[in-house]
């Protein structure tokens, strides 16, 4: 990527912003699921046709396993969001630098005339 390729930087910035929004959405959804009580989870599962034949103890075991998996997913998503935020910050700096370079080039071009 060239230092003054503002269009390329802006396109990449938009892509990273879309990715960050998707990550935030996933984080929000997983956080909501993690806060779900056992009774809420049983109700949701049975509404969907799952867990109908299971005892409350079996449901509790599955719920604990799901929560452990969700915690792991949340940690991974948070790490990815942190990386994406860092990349977005770097792109914004690159865009600002490219704009300064362009402005300096335009100013020096006017002075030569």
Burial classification of residue 27, based on how many CB atoms lie within 10 Å of its CB (0-12 exposed, 13-18 middle, 19 or more buried): middle
pLDDT band (50, 70, 90) for residue 1 = very low
Q: Over the stretch 91-112, which tens digit does the pLDDT of each residue have?
A: 999 999 999 988 898 888 776 6
Q: Over the stretch 12-53, which tens digit does the pLDDT of each residue have?
A: 999 999 999 999 999 999 999 999 999 999 999 989 889 999
49: enclosing H helix or E strand: none
How crowded is residue 71: how many other Cβ atoms within 10 Å of its Cβ?
12
42, 56 contact by CB (below 8 A): yes
pTM of the model: 0.73
| Three-class secondary structure of residue 30 per DSSP | helix
Q: What are phi and psi of 54, to 5 degrees?
A: -95, 145
């Amino acid at each position: 990527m060239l230092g003054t390729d503002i269009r390329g930087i802006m396109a990449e910035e938009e892509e990273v912003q879309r990715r960050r929004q998707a990550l935030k959405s996933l984080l929000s959804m997983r956080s909501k699921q993690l806060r779900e009580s056992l009774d809420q989870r049983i109700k949701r599962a049975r509404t969907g046709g799952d867990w109908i034949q299971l005892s409350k103890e079996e449901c509790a075991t599955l719920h604990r396993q799901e929560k452990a998996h969700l915690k792991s997913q949340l940690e991974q998503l948070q790490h990815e969001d942190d990386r994406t935020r860092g990349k977005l910050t770097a792109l914004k700096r690159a865009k600002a630098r490219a704009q300064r370079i362009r402005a300096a080039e335009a100013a020096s071009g006017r002075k030569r005339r």
